[in-house]
Structure 1
Amino acid sequence: MIHYQLRCVSDHEFEGWFSNSSSFEDQAARGLLSCPYCGTAGVDRALMAPAVRSSRQKKDERQETPVTPAEVPAATVVGQAGIPDALLSTLQKMRQEVESKCENVGDRFAEEALRIHHGEAEERGIYGRMTPDDHERLEDEGVSVQRLPWVQPAEG
Protein backbone atom coordinates (compact mmCIF):
# COMPACT_ATOMS: atom_id res chain seq x y z
CA MET A 1 0.00 0.00 0.00
CA ILE A 2 1.14 3.53 -0.74
CA HIS A 3 -0.06 6.59 1.16
CA TYR A 4 -0.55 9.90 -0.64
CA GLN A 5 -1.45 13.26 0.78
CA LEU A 6 -4.05 14.57 -1.69
CA ARG A 7 -5.32 18.09 -2.39
CA CYS A 8 -8.37 19.23 -4.35
CA VAL A 9 -8.61 22.36 -6.49
CA SER A 10 -10.26 24.10 -3.48
CA ASP A 11 -7.11 23.37 -1.38
CA HIS A 12 -8.75 20.77 0.88
CA GLU A 13 -6.13 18.24 1.96
CA PHE A 14 -6.87 14.62 2.77
CA GLU A 15 -5.14 11.28 2.50
CA GLY A 16 -5.59 8.34 0.22
CA TRP A 17 -4.23 4.81 0.23
CA PHE A 18 -3.54 3.01 -3.04
CA SER A 19 -2.15 -0.41 -3.90
CA ASN A 20 0.62 1.29 -5.96
CA SER A 21 1.36 4.57 -7.76
CA SER A 22 -0.14 3.38 -11.04
CA SER A 23 -3.40 2.66 -9.18
CA PHE A 24 -3.53 6.32 -8.15
CA GLU A 25 -2.75 7.46 -11.69
CA ASP A 26 -5.41 5.17 -13.17
CA GLN A 27 -8.12 6.30 -10.74
CA ALA A 28 -7.24 9.96 -11.26
CA ALA A 29 -7.28 9.61 -15.06
CA ARG A 30 -10.69 7.90 -14.94
CA GLY A 31 -12.14 10.62 -12.66
CA LEU A 32 -12.74 8.21 -9.80
CA LEU A 33 -11.23 10.44 -7.11
CA SER A 34 -13.15 13.20 -5.38
CA CYS A 35 -12.64 15.48 -2.41
CA PRO A 36 -14.44 14.17 0.72
CA TYR A 37 -15.05 17.77 1.82
CA CYS A 38 -16.49 19.42 -1.29
CA GLY A 39 -16.93 16.53 -3.74
CA THR A 40 -14.90 18.04 -6.58
CA ALA A 41 -13.16 15.60 -8.90
CA GLY A 42 -10.17 17.95 -9.30
CA VAL A 43 -7.80 15.97 -7.07
CA ASP A 44 -4.02 15.62 -7.27
CA ARG A 45 -1.18 14.61 -5.01
CA ALA A 46 0.00 17.24 -2.53
CA LEU A 47 3.64 17.73 -1.60
CA MET A 48 4.81 15.28 1.03
CA ALA A 49 8.06 14.89 2.90
CA PRO A 50 9.58 11.49 2.25
CA ALA A 51 10.20 9.19 5.19
CA VAL A 52 13.91 8.49 4.87
CA ARG A 53 15.19 5.65 7.03
CA SER A 54 18.75 4.84 7.95
CA SER A 55 20.03 1.29 7.45
CA ARG A 56 20.00 0.88 11.25
CA GLN A 57 16.29 1.81 11.37
CA LYS A 58 15.51 -0.60 8.51
CA LYS A 59 17.28 -3.43 10.39
CA ASP A 60 15.37 -2.62 13.61
CA GLU A 61 12.04 -2.53 11.72
CA ARG A 62 12.67 -5.97 10.16
CA GLN A 63 12.99 -7.41 13.66
CA GLU A 64 9.60 -6.03 14.76
CA THR A 65 6.40 -8.05 14.64
CA PRO A 66 4.76 -7.79 11.21
CA VAL A 67 1.71 -5.57 10.89
CA THR A 68 -1.56 -7.48 10.69
CA PRO A 69 -4.21 -6.40 8.17
CA ALA A 70 -6.35 -4.99 10.99
CA GLU A 71 -3.53 -2.58 11.89
CA VAL A 72 -3.12 -1.21 8.38
CA PRO A 73 -4.81 2.20 8.09
CA ALA A 74 -8.12 1.92 6.27
CA ALA A 75 -8.26 3.30 2.74
CA THR A 76 -9.89 6.67 2.43
CA VAL A 77 -12.78 6.29 0.03
CA VAL A 78 -12.62 9.46 -2.04
CA GLY A 79 -15.27 8.65 -4.62
CA GLN A 80 -18.14 6.22 -5.08
CA ALA A 81 -17.57 5.23 -8.70
CA GLY A 82 -16.21 1.70 -8.91
CA ILE A 83 -17.17 0.69 -5.35
CA PRO A 84 -18.96 -2.67 -5.44
CA ASP A 85 -22.68 -2.34 -4.61
CA ALA A 86 -22.48 -4.52 -1.49
CA LEU A 87 -19.60 -2.47 -0.08
CA LEU A 88 -21.26 0.84 -0.96
CA SER A 89 -24.46 -0.29 0.77
CA THR A 90 -22.51 -1.26 3.89
CA LEU A 91 -20.66 2.08 3.94
CA GLN A 92 -23.96 3.96 3.53
CA LYS A 93 -25.47 2.00 6.46
CA MET A 94 -22.40 2.78 8.55
CA ARG A 95 -22.76 6.49 7.74
CA GLN A 96 -26.47 6.39 8.67
CA GLU A 97 -25.62 4.71 11.99
CA VAL A 98 -22.92 7.29 12.82
CA GLU A 99 -25.21 10.20 11.90
CA SER A 100 -28.08 8.83 14.00
CA LYS A 101 -26.02 8.11 17.14
CA CYS A 102 -23.27 10.73 17.13
CA GLU A 103 -23.06 14.52 17.09
CA ASN A 104 -21.62 16.26 14.02
CA VAL A 105 -19.16 18.82 15.34
CA GLY A 106 -17.82 19.67 11.87
CA ASP A 107 -14.46 21.44 11.77
CA ARG A 108 -14.37 21.56 15.59
CA PHE A 109 -13.74 17.78 15.76
CA ALA A 110 -10.20 17.91 17.15
CA GLU A 111 -11.01 20.57 19.74
CA GLU A 112 -14.16 18.77 20.92
CA ALA A 113 -12.38 15.40 21.06
CA LEU A 114 -9.70 16.99 23.27
CA ARG A 115 -12.35 18.57 25.51
CA ILE A 116 -14.02 15.17 25.96
CA HIS A 117 -10.65 13.47 26.54
CA HIS A 118 -9.73 16.01 29.25
CA GLY A 119 -13.15 15.75 30.95
CA GLU A 120 -14.10 19.32 30.00
CA ALA A 121 -17.12 18.20 27.93
CA GLU A 122 -19.73 15.46 28.18
CA GLU A 123 -18.53 12.09 26.92
CA ARG A 124 -20.43 11.21 23.75
CA GLY A 125 -19.94 10.02 20.22
CA ILE A 126 -18.89 12.75 17.82
CA TYR A 127 -17.88 12.98 14.19
CA GLY A 128 -16.56 15.72 11.96
CA ARG A 129 -13.53 16.79 9.98
CA MET A 130 -9.90 17.19 10.97
CA THR A 131 -6.67 18.09 9.27
CA PRO A 132 -3.62 15.81 9.26
CA ASP A 133 -2.08 18.16 11.86
CA ASP A 134 -5.20 17.77 14.05
CA HIS A 135 -4.95 13.98 13.75
CA GLU A 136 -1.30 14.05 14.81
CA ARG A 137 -2.13 16.32 17.77
CA LEU A 138 -4.91 13.95 18.91
CA GLU A 139 -2.58 10.95 18.64
CA ASP A 140 0.08 12.81 20.66
CA GLU A 141 -2.53 13.49 23.38
CA GLY A 142 -3.57 9.83 23.44
CA VAL A 143 -7.04 10.45 22.00
CA SER A 144 -8.36 7.41 20.15
CA VAL A 145 -9.99 8.38 16.86
CA GLN A 146 -11.08 6.32 13.88
CA ARG A 147 -11.13 7.59 10.31
CA LEU A 148 -14.13 6.37 8.39
CA PRO A 149 -14.73 6.13 4.67
CA TRP A 150 -17.50 8.69 4.10
CA VAL A 151 -19.74 8.11 1.08
CA GLN A 152 -22.84 9.91 -0.11
CA PRO A 153 -25.93 8.78 1.83
CA ALA A 154 -28.28 6.28 0.23
CA GLU A 155 -31.14 7.85 -1.71
CA GLY A 156 -34.74 7.34 -0.65
Structure 2
Amino acid sequence: MTDLPYLTPLTADQQQAAGLPTQWPLAIADRVRFAELDPLNHVNNVAYLIWFESARVAYFKHINLTTYENAATEPRIVIRRGEMDWLQEMRADEDYVIVSKTIACRTTSFTMHQEIWSAGTKRAEFKCVIVLLHPDGTGRLAIPDPIRAYFHDVEGVERDQENRFT
Protein backbone atom coordinates (compact mmCIF):
# COMPACT_ATOMS: atom_id res chain seq x y z
CA MET A 1 0.00 0.00 0.00
CA THR A 2 3.04 2.30 0.11
CA ASP A 3 2.18 3.99 -3.19
CA LEU A 4 -0.97 5.50 -1.65
CA PRO A 5 -0.74 9.21 -0.85
CA TYR A 6 -0.61 9.91 2.87
CA LEU A 7 -2.90 12.45 4.55
CA THR A 8 -4.84 13.04 1.32
CA PRO A 9 -8.40 11.87 0.57
CA LEU A 10 -8.26 8.61 -1.39
CA THR A 11 -10.17 7.97 -4.59
CA ALA A 12 -12.43 4.94 -4.96
CA ASP A 13 -9.67 3.10 -6.86
CA GLN A 14 -7.13 3.92 -4.16
CA GLN A 15 -9.54 2.72 -1.46
CA GLN A 16 -9.97 -0.55 -3.31
CA ALA A 17 -6.18 -0.91 -3.75
CA ALA A 18 -5.80 -0.42 0.01
CA GLY A 19 -8.02 -3.45 0.62
CA LEU A 20 -11.19 -1.67 1.75
CA PRO A 21 -14.21 -3.88 1.05
CA THR A 22 -16.46 -0.88 0.28
CA GLN A 23 -15.98 2.74 -0.72
CA TRP A 24 -16.27 5.39 2.01
CA PRO A 25 -17.07 9.11 1.69
CA LEU A 26 -13.65 9.94 3.16
CA ALA A 27 -10.61 7.71 3.47
CA ILE A 28 -7.13 8.90 4.42
CA ALA A 29 -3.92 6.83 4.48
CA ASP A 30 -0.95 7.17 6.80
CA ARG A 31 1.81 5.10 8.40
CA VAL A 32 2.49 4.12 12.01
CA ARG A 33 5.26 6.26 13.49
CA PHE A 34 7.83 5.16 16.09
CA ALA A 35 6.50 7.76 18.55
CA GLU A 36 3.09 6.00 18.50
CA LEU A 37 4.49 2.73 19.92
CA ASP A 38 4.26 1.65 23.54
CA PRO A 39 6.81 -0.41 25.53
CA LEU A 40 5.34 -3.61 24.06
CA ASN A 41 6.30 -2.34 20.58
CA HIS A 42 2.75 -2.05 19.30
CA VAL A 43 0.63 1.06 18.76
CA ASN A 44 -0.43 2.70 22.00
CA ASN A 45 -4.21 2.74 22.53
CA VAL A 46 -4.35 6.54 22.67
CA ALA A 47 -2.76 6.80 19.18
CA TYR A 48 -5.90 5.31 17.64
CA LEU A 49 -8.02 8.03 19.24
CA ILE A 50 -5.65 10.70 17.90
CA TRP A 51 -5.83 9.16 14.42
CA PHE A 52 -9.63 9.13 14.56
CA GLU A 53 -9.65 12.75 15.71
CA SER A 54 -7.40 13.82 12.83
CA ALA A 55 -9.68 12.02 10.38
CA ARG A 56 -12.77 13.67 11.91
CA VAL A 57 -11.20 17.12 11.49
CA ALA A 58 -10.48 16.29 7.82
CA TYR A 59 -14.04 14.97 7.44
CA PHE A 60 -15.59 18.14 8.90
CA LYS A 61 -13.55 20.24 6.48
CA HIS A 62 -14.39 17.86 3.61
CA ILE A 63 -18.15 18.28 4.15
CA ASN A 64 -17.78 22.06 4.73
CA LEU A 65 -19.05 21.95 8.30
CA THR A 66 -16.09 24.07 9.45
CA THR A 67 -12.74 25.41 8.33
CA TYR A 68 -11.39 25.75 11.89
CA GLU A 69 -10.36 29.29 10.95
CA ASN A 70 -12.99 31.46 12.67
CA ALA A 71 -14.08 30.35 16.13
CA ALA A 72 -16.37 33.40 16.41
CA THR A 73 -18.65 32.26 13.57
CA GLU A 74 -18.18 28.52 13.12
CA PRO A 75 -19.97 25.91 15.23
CA ARG A 76 -18.34 24.28 18.20
CA ILE A 77 -18.14 20.60 17.39
CA VAL A 78 -18.08 18.31 20.41
CA ILE A 79 -18.27 14.59 21.03
CA ARG A 80 -21.12 13.79 23.38
CA ARG A 81 -20.49 10.05 23.45
CA GLY A 82 -17.87 7.77 21.94
CA GLU A 83 -17.33 4.05 21.76
CA MET A 84 -14.04 2.44 20.71
CA ASP A 85 -13.25 -1.14 19.73
CA TRP A 86 -9.63 -2.22 19.32
CA LEU A 87 -9.79 -5.30 17.11
CA GLN A 88 -6.19 -6.19 16.23
CA GLU A 89 -2.84 -4.72 17.24
CA MET A 90 -0.73 -2.62 14.90
CA ARG A 91 3.04 -2.26 14.79
CA ALA A 92 5.74 0.10 13.54
CA ASP A 93 5.78 1.14 9.88
CA GLU A 94 2.38 -0.37 9.03
CA ASP A 95 0.39 1.58 6.46
CA TYR A 96 -3.23 2.13 7.41
CA VAL A 97 -6.37 3.84 6.12
CA ILE A 98 -8.87 5.67 8.32
CA VAL A 99 -12.39 5.84 6.91
CA SER A 100 -15.17 8.14 8.11
CA LYS A 101 -18.87 8.63 7.47
CA THR A 102 -22.08 9.76 9.12
CA ILE A 103 -24.59 7.03 9.88
CA ALA A 104 -27.41 8.94 11.63
CA CYS A 105 -28.58 12.52 11.91
CA ARG A 106 -30.93 14.51 14.10
CA THR A 107 -31.54 18.26 14.42
CA THR A 108 -28.41 19.31 16.32
CA SER A 109 -26.40 16.08 16.41
CA PHE A 110 -25.18 13.26 14.22
CA THR A 111 -23.51 9.89 14.65
CA MET A 112 -20.22 9.15 12.96
CA HIS A 113 -18.64 5.79 12.28
CA GLN A 114 -14.91 5.45 11.67
CA GLU A 115 -12.66 2.47 11.03
CA ILE A 116 -8.94 1.84 10.69
CA TRP A 117 -7.87 -0.70 8.07
CA SER A 118 -4.41 -2.16 7.45
CA ALA A 119 -3.41 -4.98 5.10
CA GLY A 120 -7.06 -5.67 4.28
CA THR A 121 -8.04 -6.11 7.94
CA LYS A 122 -10.16 -3.86 10.13
CA ARG A 123 -7.98 -3.03 13.15
CA ALA A 124 -10.19 -0.63 15.12
CA GLU A 125 -13.50 1.20 14.96
CA PHE A 126 -14.96 4.25 16.65
CA LYS A 127 -18.55 5.46 16.82
CA CYS A 128 -19.47 8.79 18.32
CA VAL A 129 -22.34 11.22 18.65
CA ILE A 130 -21.30 14.71 17.55
CA VAL A 131 -23.22 17.73 18.85
CA LEU A 132 -23.05 21.18 17.31
CA LEU A 133 -23.03 24.17 19.64
CA HIS A 134 -23.28 27.89 18.95
CA PRO A 135 -19.83 29.46 18.51
CA ASP A 136 -20.02 31.03 21.99
CA GLY A 137 -21.07 27.70 23.54
CA THR A 138 -24.44 29.01 24.73
CA GLY A 139 -26.50 26.12 23.41
CA ARG A 140 -27.09 23.64 20.65
CA LEU A 141 -26.96 24.70 17.01
CA ALA A 142 -29.05 23.12 14.25
CA ILE A 143 -27.09 21.24 11.62
CA PRO A 144 -26.98 23.52 8.55
CA ASP A 145 -29.29 22.46 5.72
CA PRO A 146 -26.44 21.91 3.20
CA ILE A 147 -24.75 19.51 5.65
CA ARG A 148 -28.01 17.66 6.30
CA ALA A 149 -28.51 17.42 2.53
CA TYR A 150 -24.98 16.01 2.13
CA PHE A 151 -25.64 13.39 4.83
CA HIS A 152 -28.85 12.38 3.06
CA ASP A 153 -27.85 12.69 -0.62
CA VAL A 154 -24.23 11.52 -0.52
CA GLU A 155 -23.99 9.28 2.54
CA GLY A 156 -27.53 7.88 2.45
CA VAL A 157 -28.50 8.91 5.98
CA GLU A 158 -32.24 9.01 6.57
CA ARG A 159 -33.46 12.36 7.84
CA ASP A 160 -34.01 12.63 11.61
CA GLN A 161 -32.69 9.14 12.15
CA GLU A 162 -31.96 8.27 15.79
CA ASN A 163 -28.36 8.72 16.96
CA ARG A 164 -27.92 5.13 18.02
CA PHE A 165 -24.98 2.80 17.89
CA THR A 166 -25.71 -0.43 16.05
User: Normalising TM by the smaller chain, what interval?
Assistant: under 0.3
TM-score computed with the length of structure 2 as normaliser = 0.23
Structure ranking higher on relative contact order (CA contacts 8 Å, 6+ apart): 2
TM-score computed with the length of structure 1 as normaliser = 0.24
More strand by share: 2
